[in-house]
Structure 1
Amino acid sequence: MAAPIFEAVPNLERIIKMPKQKRGGHWWKLWKSVVLNWWDIIVDLRGSATAYVLPGKTRVVLPGNDDDLHRVEQLGKLIGVEPAPLPVVWTRPEDEARAKELIPDDGKPLLAVGPSANWIGKTWHPERFEETIAELTKPGAVLENARVLLVGAPSERDSSLPVIESIPPDRRVEIFGTEHLLTVMACLKKADLYIGNDSGLMHMAAASTRPTLGLFGPSREEHYGPCSKWGRTVRTEWSFDKIMANRESYLSKENLMETLPVAKVVAAAIQLVKDYRNQEIGDE
């Protein structure tokens, strides 16, 4: 559940969690929790009827996706803010302190990797992550001898195990549901580079303002790419439309990242790190 990611938002009064219940019971719970308040503004990004059965002055309802815009741009336009502000995830002092315990400030570069996703279709092969990590951290490489942070959901650790075990224990840190989401965010803020599939963790990495490389295949980078100054994408040799046209079925459980080669990812990663470092030198 993503609720913990909002716990450090300034001026937050409360978070109402909505785990799904039978027959839409979670919507009924939400309505009961907020119906006695008068709201200055009600924002509904799910297009439900909830916004219209609550007392309030202004209602903003997302009618559907605009395929001409990145989703962040669309949300900014929805509330009349253009250009849209870049995503931010606030952290607390305790999150920063815990991140420092997990990843000491010892001068070693940090490569963060998200080798999993919530759908097998957009999950790059473990062996390709292994090869990419090895290429980026080998002697003389752009992140030579880097510590590697591996992150994912608790249910995704087993599928990520080959990648985890490919990193020597003294050079790896893994977080698969064992830390608070804001601790994960604080760790991502320390990364010299994040590489990962199209996932929530990729968007967290982008919000950290650190170099973020998202791997895309059966999703559109123009809609869901990492939205930040240092967010970049690399996609399969096949376009989104070609992938969708050639999959086995609508509910296919096949991997759809086959045509993304390691060399393409490594080249994009190296260029991103170099660009970021050159910017830092220019700012000095």
Structure 2
Amino acid sequence: MRLLFITSNRLGDAVLSTSVLRHYVETYPGIKVTVACGPVAAPIFEAVPGLERIIEMPKQKRGGHWWKLWKSVAFRWWDIIVDLRGSATAYVLPGWKRVVLKGNDDSVHRVEQLARLIGVDPAPEPFVWIGPEHERRAAKILPTDERPLLVVGPSANWIGKTWRPERFAETIARLRAVGGALEDAHVLLVGAPNEREASEPVIASIPENRRTEIFGSEHLLTVMACLRRADLYVGNDSGLMHMAAASGNPTIGLFGPSRDEHYRPYAKWGRAVRTDWSYDKIIENRSSPLSKEILMDTLPVDKVVSAAETLLRDYRIEEKHHG
């Protein structure tokens, strides 16, 4: 049985789409999988069970990337074709079952919309598979002692949804303080290569022997392996936030000029903490649609720290109960 899985260019949407891929992999053991996606998202699929091929689809003029994809897959029979980009491709390929996402349903979270598309209830949570080599690398990067691990994503692909560095620094300091929820935690800072400079004030606020940083310097599945070791993730709305939620560990996503009802961390221990202003109010009050201003200033540090403390407390109570 073969599955062609066409998914997003963007990391965050690709991570959310793993909820669908997980359903097919778990429902049809041994299924052979081909994934077509953008280059940024491609690494997260490298350890998918039954993976035959990843086809990277960098955008080309006049839809050339779709023509390239068609040539790559048109001469094979597909038992299932899933197209989450709503193209016509699924209808012009030889196959048995076709599942095509034709647009967003703004009444539900994106994961719940995907679950409805494939007729599954409750919605499967996103899941990112990793290999033993990524586990080994994570073990080498991170400390081997018993200190808690706090992972922080202080950047994003748009400055508007980026919380100010000094607020991240204060939040980290309060969580790590004596008597804090993650006393003396080691801090892993993560982001894209081009986001490190903006994150410098956060990095500098943490003692050198209490921090590790990964800004594009490691494979995304190594980052995933590190996230699975985390006690808590705190970060802006980003692909890394969705990866953290998919780890199953406590995850706090910070929201302002993006809709948490559609993109909150979709996991049992995922929580969205949004600005005191609504999405609509933020958008109405920005200086212009092209502005390069931070739009997260109505999110106070106290709100984030309190949410983190509550989440960790609830998580630990349940862990103790089941442990």
TM-score over 0.5 (shorter chain):
yes
Deviation of 1:206 (Å): 0.4
TM-score between both structures, scaled by the size of structure 2 = 0.86
Deviation of 1:17 (Å): 0.7
Aligned to 1:97: 136
- In the alignment, residue 48 of structure 2 is paired with which amino acid? V
Question: Does residue 223 of structure 1 match 2:249?
Answer: no
2:295 equivalent among 256, 268, 274: 256
- The runs of 4+ residues in structure 1 deviating greater than 3 Å are none
User: Unaligned regions of 5+ residues in structure 2, if any?
Assistant: 1-39
Question: Does residue 190 of structure 1 match 2:229?
Answer: yes
1:68 equivalent among 107, 129, 139: 107
Where do residues 51-66 of structure 1 align in structure 2 (5 Å cutoff)? 51-66=90-105
CA distance in 2, matches of 1:131, 1:186: 27
Alignment deviations for residues 49-108 of structure 1 (CA, whole Å, 9 cap, x no partner): 222221212221111111111100100110111111111111111101111111133100
Instruction: Quote the RMSD (CA, aligned, Å).
Output: 1.0
- In the alignment, residue 127 of structure 2 is paired with which amino acid? V
Alignment deviations for residues 158-189 of structure 1 (CA, whole Å, 9 cap, x no partner): 11111111111100010001101000000001
Aligned to 1:162: 201
2:188 equivalent among 149, 152, 157: 149
Aligned to 2:20: none
1:211 equivalent among 230, 234, 250: 250
Give 3-state SS (helix, strand or coil) of 1:15's partner. strand
1:175 equivalent among 214, 219, 222: 214
CA distance in 2, matches of 1:45, 1:218: 24
Same amino acid, percent of matched pairs: 73
Aligned to 2:84: 45
Deviation of 1:39 (Å): 1.2
Deviation of 1:248 (Å): 2.0
Give 3-state SS (helix, strand or coil) of 1:149's partner. strand
CA distance in 2, matches of 1:97, 1:38: 37
CA distance in 2, matches of 1:65, 1:11: 29
Deviation of 1:40 (Å): 1.3
Give 3-state SS (helix, strand or coil) of 2:56's partner. coil
Deviation of 1:209 (Å): 0.4
User: Unaligned regions of 5+ residues in structure 1, if any?
Assistant: none
